[in-house]
Structure 1
Amino acid sequence: MIYEGPNLDVPAVDVLTFLFDDPNGRASDDTPLHAEARDPQRYITKAQLRNLTGCFAHFLRTEYAIGAAGPSKDVVVPISTGQSALAALLYGVIAAEGIYAPVSHSSTVDDAVRQIKDGPGKVIVCSSDAKDLAIAAAARVGLPQRNVLVLTSYPDITLESVNGEVACDFKKQLQWRKITDPKELEQSKICIYYSSGTTGLPKGVVLSHTNLVAEGSMLSSAGRVLLEEAKVQFRTLAHLPTAHAAALVCYFVNPIYEGGVTYWMPTFNFDDFLRYFGELKITSIFSVPPVFLGIAKHPAVKDQFSNLVIVCSGAAPMSKELQDAAKSRMKLEGLFAQTWGMTETSASVTWSTPTKTNTAGSVGRLLPNTKLRLVDEEEKDVSEGQPGEALVKAPTVVQGYHRNPEANKATFTADGWLRTGDILCMRGDELFVVDRKKEMIKYKAFQVAPAELEGIIASHPAVLDAAVIGVPQNYTEVPRAYVVLAPPAKGKISEEDIMDFVKSKVMDYKRLRGGVRFVDAVPRSASGKILRKELRERRKLEDQQSKL
């Protein structure tokens, strides 16, 4: 069975024309769009952002020949913490007809080198606090320091090489080439965002103009009505890693189209996060389950979230229990949505519909122009109401992976469906995430979803975080939990207490037969995904030590 979202007309234009000139965009030339959270009065308007885009594009073209040999050939590698001029850099790279391929500022030098070589990167642009990483990686790949630029947003916007040889003087601009040919838009390569690598090495995901325009249009059609009804301005707080696809959509595409301001934190700090929320009267936020877990349990949460109209969680499944607890602590009367998607779908595939009742724990309904199938191991459609791997077709689905034909063959079917690797279930007209296909625990003839158990464990008042993996036992696989206790609970709550708590809430085959291990922290990626491969390595060491 093929499930389909509603139809929506999406403009056939390049993403810069869409963001700056589309008549349905809400920003005027004097609308504030980007600012530092620490000093919100110093902001970048739409007119200033357009000017910065042209200046950065001219600088990259004239000094580094980005795009001089044609579009989609020259890779620019940003390594930056959050800052207000970063959007102008992205737009400038696109205007120069280069490819924007960010590396996480928290990467090791080896990780950064791997991605720069994959480009291959021609220029590195870093924030001042990532300069050492950028210089070390550049040296390893043979880039001169002239090709390592530092972008500064505060108190003044500057872009200059680390050796002081060249700097953007902001005197000349390069206007972007407007594109309306559908084939060229679909086949364009404007960004490479790397998948999280939770189960292997990160893969470069190639995004096009079509992908970003479709994602922006589709999300706007789903969420704009809530802001209009509440009669509030779109204001969001940028706190997620800038090299993640969620940041691309939530900070660089949606806000400018909705005519709202993005306030930037350099990196995430929960105390600052709470303080800025109250001070800046944030109305819309996308975040990840670990942040909502903090909101649900941190004693400093008071009334900081009183201005929120739209809340959305993504990047990893969130249990009904956690969603209800976080919503209660935020005293939220507006929409608390979950979205499901991946880098390969330009972020979101689903969204909670504002005009319909949304079930807690659901990831909502399909976005417009999106088709979905749920299939079994043989890629045959499952019966209605049964879980299956989600296959997706949509204008937001990317062309494939950068320089990785093997991954393309494994990820896309012969007739163009994207294999997501996620197990979903359709209940009524709402979708629910069961878990990752590769992470399902196979206990005898039963399938056990780690995400379900993690949600239950995290609902225990003494638990701050939890992760579950499968461990071998008696010729089958059983769930084992790694649990972070709140400091007051240490020494008072035992492993058996957690096991009994879970036992009281699940069917017999889902019990924690692999036991419980207390840990100081659950390993997670920068976007909040659990790094189960690290837990599996830990489990191997535990088993080896138990045999000594």
Structure 2
Amino acid sequence: MLAMTQVEEGSVEGLPNRLHEVMDHYVGATPDRMALVDDKMWLTYRELDQVVGRVTEALRALGIRPGDRMMIVSENSVPLSCLLFAASRLDAWAIVVNPRLSPREIDQIKDHSGTRRVFLTAEVSQEAAAHATRYEATVQDVGPLRGIAVTSLNIATVAEPVEADGARQVAVLIYTSGTTGTPKGVMLTHRNLLFSARGTAAFRKMTADDVQYCVLPISHIVGISLLTMTLMVGATVRLVAKYDPAALVKAMADEGITILNGVPATYQRLLEYRRTAGLPKLDRGKLRVISVAGAPLDIELKSRVEQELGLPLLNGYGITECSPGISGVRPDNPRADHAVGTIMPGLEAKLVSQDGKPVADGEVGELHVRGPNVMRGYYRAPDLTAKAIDPDGWFNTGDLARFENGAMYIVGRTKEMIIRSGFNVYPAEIEAVLSTHDAVVQCAVVGRPVEGNEEVVAFVQLIKGSTATVQDLMAHVAPQLTSYKRPSEIILMDALPATSTGKLLKHKLAESLRSQS
């Protein structure tokens, strides 16, 4: 397939040069409009500007220099947002980390990044407070922010050079394990984040009247993008530390939220809550856009959500290295299938075969993208960067996709593709069929090498109390899959290994098969 270009729609013209500048226009134009709200505090645009200014001075007094990396261990909150924008004002690199990560994972990020100091919102979550204790961090005020735990100064670390151009200056460093299990620091520039956020805001026709429900973690790229795009249009961000379906139901009914973004599990738990709480119907209030990304979307779940809320559930696709937006289903052109929509304006996409040649429309190929959203590279890993981004600027997503009439479908990951008896088998297809069984909560399909071939192995988590057997599942998939796609073995598990955001760790399942052989 030839590169699909929509450069005329997506442009870098008029973007701010730095992340914190998104609020500047509204500080003057609508100073009393609500900017940030969490469970404990709220700030208008005027107040946000003032608080970020005072936090910036406090960080400078704590020895944070331009080019330093500073770690923020926090759930979504107003203090986290203020620390993030203050880092931008200082030209420091913000590393926002989920406090639900293990000590080992947080230590890995701290050591690899060479962070100058770690800031932990000890009063926001018990997990952050536990890490603060472990680091012997001092709880103090950082400007007007109270109860922030601050570690001692890393005197040995060296500041990175500061780039005047926002297209080169790193705004955030996001550590992602990908499929390897080894964290990689993704360097996203100010322009990366601002370009992607503006594209999504335009896509959704966002205005200053919107209230964005931000429950996806700001420690991951989607959360940062939601925060940025909302302030970019002068709207309100409702920051949520931990997902609670009951709180979401209340926010829909009482708080005027208009946009909800989630992963499939967000919506699955919402429907389960309605049922267990005995609610006759969910009150969607002013909700006008609901979207989903981050994991394959089950068509049956999509249908049930749409029926319940009376809105199309808009599927999308992105990746941390692309800040994140690559494609999305437009609100004015919803779809009934599991397509992830059309390529975002200003980006180019192409599909290539295993030997690097273009593939025809409708055929599966590896997705490569190019545009102002593509990361600067992996921190302190030029070899990994060179493998991911070619000399012409094309980033290899490692995902397999196909296009039909301009719409993109994600089929799986290149490394996960199974070659069985000469046929290409895509785990996502088998997982989709397995997921239609009533007893299946979630599943993951991986390949198992056997002499001269590969076998298909499915790991399945069943609903608690289910009496379904492996034989039942085999009988369920057999009529829906051709012989070479059917699992050689189905393994039942109490829980599948996953990251803190619920992303399944397939490499661990594959390793468990290798250790058995």
Question: TM-score, normalised on structure 2?
Answer: 0.88
Contact residue 29 and residue 46 of structure 1 kept, 8 A: yes
* 1: CA distance, partners of 2:22 / 2:446: 43
1:124-203 matches, cutoff 5 A? 124-128=118-122, 129=126, 130-136=128-134, 138=135, 145=137, 157-158=145-146, 160-161=148-149, 184-203=165-184
Q: Say whether the 8 Å CA contact 1:479–1:511 is kept in structure 2.
A: yes
Partner residue of 1:501 out of 439, 451, 476: 476
Distance 1:463 1:150 in 2: 48
* Equivalent of 1:331 in 298, 304, 309: 309
Deviation at 1:105, TM superposition (A): 0.8
Structure 1 vs Structure 2: percent identity of aligned residues? 23
| Aligned counterparts of 1:429 and 1:150: Cα–Cα separation in 2 | 52
Alpha-carbon spacing, 1:371–1:164, altered in 2? closer, same or farther (3 Å)? closer
List alignment gaps of at least 5 residues for structure 1: 68-72, 140-144, 166-178
1:87 partner letter = S
Matches within 5 A, 1:128-527: 128=122, 129=126, 130-136=128-134, 138=135, 145=137, 157-158=145-146, 160-161=148-149, 184-224=165-205, 233-250=209-226, 252-295=227-270, 297=272, 299-300=275-276, 302-305=281-284, 307-328=286-307, 330-333=308-311, 335-473=312-450, 475-488=452-465, 490-491=466-467, 493-514=468-489, 516-527=490-501
SS of the equivalent of 1:236 reads strand
Taking the aligned partners of 1:440 and 1:459, their CA distance within structure 2 comes to 21
2:34 maps to which residue? 32
Paired amino acid for 1:101: I
- Distance in 2, matches of 1:79 and 1:253, equals 19
Larger mean CA deviation between 477-486 and 412-421 belongs to: 477-486
One-letter identity of the residue aligned with 1:110: R
Instruction: Note the alpha carbon deviations across 1:397-437, whole angstroms, 9 max, x for none.
Output: 11111111111111011221101101111100111101111
Aligned-pair CA distance for 1:296: 5.1
State the Cα deviation string for residues 44-80 of structure 1 (Å, max 9, x = none).
Answer: 111111111111111111221422xxxxx20110111
What amino acid does structure 1 have at the position aligned with 2:296?
P
**Superposed counterparts of 1:43-54, under 5 Å:** 43-54=42-53
User: Residues 282 and 65 from structure 1, CA distance in 2 versus in 1: closer, same or farther, beyond 3 angstroms?
Assistant: closer
Letter in 1 for 2:114: P
Name the CA shift for 1:105/1:198 in 2 (closer, same or farther; >3 Å).
farther
| Selected match of 1:109 from 88, 103, 109 | 103
- What TM-score results when the alignment is normalised by the length of structure 1? 0.84
Residue 58 (structure 1) aligns with: 57
Shift in Å, 1:160: 4.6
Q: Deviations over 1:299-336 (max 9, x none)?
A: 247405454311111122223333223323x3332x42
CA distance change for structure 1 residues 326 and 477 in 2, over 3 Å: closer, same or farther? farther
Q: Alpha carbons of 1:164 and 1:427: their partners in 2 closer, same or farther (altered >3 Å)?
A: closer
| 2:97 alignment partner, SS class | coil
Q: Is the 8 A contact 1:317 1:435 kept in 2?
A: no
Amino acid at match of 1:286: N
User: Structure 2 stretches of 5 or more lacking a match?
Assistant: 154-161
Tell whether the 8 Å contact from 1:84 to 1:263 is kept in structure 2 after alignment: no
> How far 1:525 sits from its partner (Å)?
1.6
Q: Which amino acid aligns with 1:127?
A: T
Question: Which deviations, in whole Å up to 9, do the C-alpha atoms of 1:222-260 show, x marking residues without a partner?
Answer: 111xx66xxx9422333223311111101x202212333
What letter matches 2:481 in structure 1? V
Query: 5 Å matches for 1:56-95?
Result: 56-67=55-66, 73-95=67-89
State whether residues 78 and 126 of structure 1, in contact with CA within 8 Å, keep that contact through their aligned partners in structure 2. yes
C-alpha contact (below 8 Å) 1:390/1:422 kept by paired residues = yes
Quote how far apart the aligned CAs of 1:474 are.
5.7
Output the aligned Cα RMSD: 2.8
Once residues 142 and 420 of structure 2 are traced to their aligned partners in structure 1, the CA distance between those partners, rounded to angstroms, is 52
Note if contact 1:316-1:528 (Cα within 8 Å) is conserved in structure 2.
no
| Counterpart code for 1:303 | L
Q: Which residue of 2 aligns with 1:5?
A: 6
Quote how far apart the aligned CAs of 1:26 are.
12
Shift of 1:109: 1.8
1:150 and 1:530, CA in 2 relative to 1: closer, same or farther beyond 3 A?
farther
Secondary structure at 1:339's aligned position in 2? strand
Q: Does the C-alpha gap of structure 1 residues 383 and 160 become closer, same or farther in structure 2, counting only changes over 3 Å?
A: closer
Question: CA–CA distance in 2 between the matches of 1:304 and 1:483?
Answer: 34
Query: 2-side partners of 1:204 and 1:14: how far apart?
Result: 22
**Residues 540 and 292 (structure 1 numbering): CA distance in 2 closer, same or farther, change over 3 Å?**
farther
Deviation at 1:164, TM superposition (A): 12
Distance 1:247 1:382, change over 3 A: same
Counterpart CA distance in 1 for 2:119 and 2:364 is 44
What residue identity is the alignment partner of 1:311?
I
The 2-side partners of 1:381 and 1:26 are apart by 50
